[in-house]
Chains A and B, each alone.
Chain A
């Protein structure tokens, strides 16, 4: 694949509902009101408990203040957005069943190919609903549930109700409440006790309209002793106006289970991205968050974990690329609530061409969480004089017998390293590319191989054209 083709496939600049000649069956836009929420719930044929949750969330949204530290969201006018777009297609379980134009979008993104080669299951959300969902029969026979969230609400109400917005309640903040009121799409994944899903399951989210808000809700439940790796991918074409993403992921890692959750975020450069991610980790369970954040104009994402049981463990690894006039605000939050819990946070950001990256993190160790350890390492690489990086770490340690370390570095590309690499035959831009790849190398290694390759390619394209250095 040539560089141009690769860029095209990653940006999909010519894709929109208009160009695809798709007329939505239903669009809900404008003021966020009780009647809009009721109409959304009615369109999705939801049970009363879900409508009740939505309306309670709406009340909270109206009451809660906008966080005063949000930067760069002045443009965000919720009243001008389309909050729900239903295309009217039946959800497909094979690519042939999809309309040809839409299937071609996914073929350009390489999803059918990756599904065939590497995945145990895949869902694809286009606008507000999943239009494709398939997973391996043998997993279904083992009791694994992978289902569109609305379908799960209807089919497994007790199971879904037990988890839906429990670890991330609508009362958490204004945009969590907004999500609770207007969520649509996303998947529900349940892995029964002691079942190991070796190949990853992926959910892919695509936004094809400007001034659209997409708020999918994903729940991963790993029952005792189980293992699963979930990948989410995001993409959107570049529109004249912005779009808004306000998704949510909840992970419930029951006793001795292991969940890996990987995000490859490649939204277009005019998308405002909020993502709410939290895991509840029980005794002996392990959760690994890994996030590669390439796209979007404004981004606020802080994967978090509540280590509730003894020996619970979390690792959170983020790579953030802030290139051009963008603000990338990311980090991690970990709550150590039980003894012998462990957390490791590694965050690496690259700021270039005027980009701003911010690390914001919280480590809280509650009294009684004896022998817990927390390690935070956040590094910022600044590629030029126009770019910036800020770090706001916060540690709240109430337990004396706990060990918390924090290490932060901010640096520019070293002239010595550039010269060294040039003496090895690399041109300056090639040397920069190697330095950037090296800088993110330890986190890149945490991504599945297929995604390492995608991420590497994107980084190479992003950084081979950067000019002089400070």
Chain B
């Protein structure tokens, strides 16, 4: 199937009868970096969870297409098989599960032969030493370490569509530089990226192709980087 990227069409979604997304449409093409910004509670993470098939997010209307195929009713693992990867804003601790074992099992599920050496290299790329392999998944990790390991997973997973939910929160400035650079590299290799953030400075480093703004569960604006100047100057209300 031709890699045409992710297409979200008129998506309306509810959680426990409360509407969290209203008529949202958004595209991410192959090799494109789309920044998704908006105030707290605007629906950015809801959109990420819905695209990744969270069972609590009920699609009432609209559809999600990956390379033209409707994936709206697929289970999360089926969406992962198709090549979508979500970097979580707050990944959960999974007690007792060593990182090395988890990454080996994850890559095997993806059909990628990754040796411990390959896995160590992915950790090194994001600034983590291989002693993290024997640590339990996210137990005692700082916010920045979590984000780095989430990104290392994305590198190993080799997705076609990568959704990064607040990758830059909790990261130090070196981490932001490193991971926004890596994100650009992935896009350069053809990965379509949806980059969710509040961090204007990080977005200026990332230089996305487009910026989409969400408020109150809907898309309110879409433009180039210049939209960041308005937000910096007047806040999100400046767009209304």
Residues of A within 8 A of B (CB): 414-417, 419-428, 430, 434-435, 437-442
Q: Which of B52, B54, B94, B110 contacts A417 (CB 8 A)?
A: B94
B80 is contacted by which of A415, A417, A424 (Cβ under 8 Å)? A424
Q: Does B97 contact A (CB under 8 A)?
A: yes
B96 adjacent to A442 (CB under 8 Å): yes
Q: How many Å lie between the Cα of A155 and that of B172 in the bound state?
A: 71
Q: Which residues of A contact B88 (CB under 8 A)?
A: 420, 423
Q: Report the 3 A-B pairs with minimum CB-CB distance, sorted nearest first.
A: A438-B97, A441-B96, A422-B76
Is the pair A423, B80 in contact by a Cβ cutoff of 8 Å?
yes
Chain B CB within 10 A, most for which of A416, A427, A430, A438: A438
Could you list 25 A-B pairs, sorted by A, with CB under 8 Å?
A414-B92, A417-B92, A420-B94, A422-B53, A422-B76, A423-B53, A423-B79, A423-B88, A424-B77, A424-B80, A424-B157, A425-B81, A425-B109, A425-B157, A427-B75, A428-B77, A434-B94, A434-B97, A434-B102, A435-B97, A437-B97, A438-B96, A438-B137, A439-B95, A440-B96
Whether B97 lies near A441 (C-beta < 8 A) is yes
Question: Nearest chain B CB to A100's CB is how many angstroms away?
Answer: 41
Quick check: A425 and B92 within 8 Å, CB to CB? no
Q: Which of A419, A425, A427 contacts B110 (CB under 8 A)?
A: A425
Residues of B within 8 A of A421 (CB): 94
Do the beta carbons of A419 and B55 come within 8 Å of each other? Answer: yes
Number of A-B contacts defined by CB within 8 Å: 71
Inter-chain CA distance A422–B97, complex, in Å, is 15
Q: Is B86 an interface residue (CB 8 A)?
A: yes
Does B227 lie at the interface of the complex (its beta carbon under 8 Å from any beta carbon of A)? no
- Which of B52, B97, B98 makes the CB contact (< 8 A) with A423? B52
A415 to B49 alpha-carbon distance, docked (Å) = 13
A383 to chain B, nearest CB (A): 15
B95 near A420 with CB under 8 A, answer no
- Contact indicator B54/A419 (Cβ below 8 Å): yes
Residues of B contacting A420 in the complex (Cβ-Cβ under 8 angstroms): 88, 91-92, 94
Determine how close the nearest CB of chain A comes to the CB of B135; give it in whole angstroms.
Answer: 11
Indicate whether A441 sits within 8 Å of B136 (C-beta atoms), given known contacts A422-B75, A423-B86, A426-B77: yes
Tell me the smallest distance from the CB of A180 to a CB of chain B, in Å. Answer: 40
Q: Which residues of B contact A442 (CB under 8 A)?
A: 96
Does residue B26 face the partner (Cβ distance < 8 Å to A)? Answer: no
Contact B92 A430 (CB under 8 A): no
Given known contacts A423-B52, A424-B109, A434-B102, A416 and B92 CB-to-CB distance under 8 angstroms = yes
Count chain A CB atoms within 10 A of each CB in B105, B137, B153 and give the residue with the most: B105
Instruction: Please tell me which one of the listed residues A419, A427, A434, A440 contacts residue B105 in the complex, with CB atoms under 8 A apart.
Output: A434
Q: Which of B55, B77, B86 has the most CB of A within 10 A?
A: B77
CB distance from B133 to the nearest CB of A (A): 14
The CA of A428 and the CA of B86, in the complex, are separated in Å by 17
The answer to whether the Cβ of B106 comes within 8 Å of any Cβ in the partner chain is: yes
Report the bound CA distance from A435 to B105 in whole Å.
Answer: 13
Q: Is the CB of A422 within 8 A of B92?
A: no
Distance in angstroms from A303 CB to nearest chain B CB is: 21
Q: With A434-B102, A440-B96, A441-B136 given, can you name 6 additional A-B contacts, CB distance below 8 Å?
A: A419-B54, A424-B157, A425-B81, A425-B110, A430-B109, A439-B95
Name the B residues within 8 Å of A417 (CB-CB).
92, 94
Q: Which residues of B contact A441 (CB under 8 A)?
A: 95-98, 136
Give Cα A420–Cα B98 distance, bound, in whole angstroms. 16
Q: Encode contact with A along B55-89: 1 for CB under 8 Å, 0 otherwise.
A: 10000000000000000000111011100011010
Q: Mark B99-143, 1 if CB is under 8 A from A, else 0.
A: 000100110011000000000000000000000000011000000
Most buried by B among A417, A422, A441: A422
A106 to B: closest C-beta gap in Å: 32
CB contacts (< 8 Å) of A427 on chain B: these are 75, 77
Within the assembled complex, what's the spacing in Å between the Cα atoms of A430 and B97?
A: 13
Contact B95 A424 (CB under 8 A): no
Q: Tell me, in angstroms, the Cα distance from A420 to B76 when the chains sit together.
A: 9
B145 → chain A closest CB, angstroms: 16
**Using Cβ atoms and an 8 Å threshold, which residues of chain B touch A423?**
52-53, 76-77, 79-80, 85-86, 88
Cα A415 to Cα B88 in complex, Å, equals 15
Q: Most A CB atoms within 10 A — which of B109, B110, B136, B153? A: B109
Give the residues in chain A near B102, CB-CB below 8 Å.
Answer: 434
Query: CB-CB < 8 A to B95: which residues of A?
Result: 438-439, 441
> How many Å lie between the Cα of A161 and that of B191 in the bound state?
75
Contact yes or no, B106 A424, CB < 8 A = yes
**B109 / chain A contacts, CB cutoff of 8 Å:** 424-426, 430
A422→B80 contact, CB < 8 A = yes
Shortest Cβ gap from A69 to chain B (Å): 31
A414 to B79, CA, bound (A): 21
Which A residue sits closest to B77, measured CB to CB? A422
Across the two chains, which residue of chain A brings its CB closest to B90? A416
Q: Smallest CB-CB separation from A431: which chain B residue?
A: B77
B58 to chain A, nearest CB (A): 14
Residues 205-218 of B, flagged 1 when their CB comes within 8 A of A and 0 if not, give 00000000000000
Contact partners of B55 in chain A: CB under 8 A: 415, 419
Contacts of B86 in A (CB 8 A): 423
